[in-house]
Amino acid sequence: MLTDFDAWVVTTMNVYARQNWLFDKSVAFLLDANSLKALPFIVILTGFWFTVADRVGRRRTVLSTIVGALIAMVVTRIWQNEGPMRLRPREEPALNFQVPAGDQHELLASWSSFPSDTAGLTMALAVGILLMSRPLGALMLAWALIGVCLPRIYFGLHYPTDIVVGGLVGGVSVLLVSASPLPDWIGKPAAFIEARWPAVFYAGFMIAAFQISTYFLDIRVAGTRLLNATDGPTAAEPVQRAGDPTGSPEL
């Protein structure tokens, strides 16, 4: 299922692949480093959680954002698994895609390309930030597109339409949740726990922040391994440490 637009964008960008080793490696780093994907958004949302001005309003929006982001992750992932299978650009024989230097994402190719769950998550978080601050939100939207999504197209992991649809799912989820009473239902008990047992609340906060920032990687790996436990050594699973420095050919 290859649209003309998608093919055109991907092949145009692919012209630059392997032209400059340094450039490819830098983009590969953006691809792999957790600190640069969801973490910046989570860091900013944490900041907003603790601001004094308009605390109640801001905390409500942060909750909406997190809930919306989680919904977007689930929706895009289910859509990827259950929807029509779309090969990733790098796997699509019609495109003759040349993978840029420095990438090691072999196992992700087993899931459908459409829609992009990375785009879903990052756009959801970016939209949430936009609701609280225009300039910061604009900056994070730009980062989501240029720093997170574009590298994925460059490395042939997604088509532009995967990104667009994924992003829409993310943005719409957050807006819908924000407009619904859901954040208030969650907000009440959350505020109670935070006031009563702040240690437990913020311990949980830290766990949640870490898991979202790592796309729940450890949990997904554990889940896959447990499900495949009977399959033996041949089972494919998510790469636990993509872009590992040691033992990788680039070193």
Partner 1 sequence: MLWDIDKALVAFINSYAQKSWAFDRAISFLINADTVKALPFVVVLTGYWFARGNQTEHRRTVLSTLIGAFVAMVITRAWQNLGPARPRPQQDPLLDFVMPSGATRAERLDWSSFPSDTAGLTMALAFGIFLLNRRLGVVMLIWGFVLSCLPRIYFGLHYPSDIAAGTLIGILAVYSADRSSLPDWLARPVGLAEARWPGLFYAVALFVAFQLSTYFFDIRTAGKRIANAFEHHRSAEVETIAVPAVPSPDTEDPG
Rule CB under 8 A: which residues touch partner 1?
21-22, 25, 29, 32-36, 39, 42-44, 46-52, 99, 101, 104, 106-107, 198-203, 205-207, 209-211, 213-214, 218-219, 221-222, 225, 229, 232-233, 237, 239-241, 243-251
Residues 98, 91: Cα–Cα separation, whole Å: 10
How far, rounded to the nearest angstrom, does the alpha carbon of residue 192 sit from its chain's CA centroid?
30
CB 119 within 8 A of CB 72: no
Q: Residue 53 CB, nearest distance to partner 1 (Å)?
A: 9
* C-alpha span between 173 and 158 (Å, rounded): 21
Q: At what angle do helices 182-196 and 160-179 cross, to 10 degrees?
A: 70
**CB nearer to partner 1: pick between 87 and 108:** 108
* Cα–Cα distance, 41 to 164 (Å, whole number): 19
Please say which residue, 134 or 241, places its beta carbon nearer to partner 1.
241
Quick count: other Cβ atoms within 10 Å of Cβ 113?
A: 26
Q: Residue 164 Cβ, how far from partner 1 at the closest point, in Å?
A: 28
Nearer to partner 1 by Cβ, of 71 and 209: the residue is: 209
Q: Residue 23 corresponds to which tokens in the numbers above? A: 């450039």
**CB-side exposure of 88: number of CA atoms within 13 Å?**
22
Give the separation between CA 235 and CA 251, rounded to whole angstroms: 27
- Nearer CB in complex with partner 1: 6/32: 32
Nearest to partner 1 of 112, 214 (CB atom): 214
Residue 61 CB, shortest distance to partner 1, in Å, is 13
Q: How far is the CB of 75 from partner 1 (least distance, A)?
A: 24
The least distance separating partner 1 from the CB of residue 191, rounded to whole angstroms, comes to 14
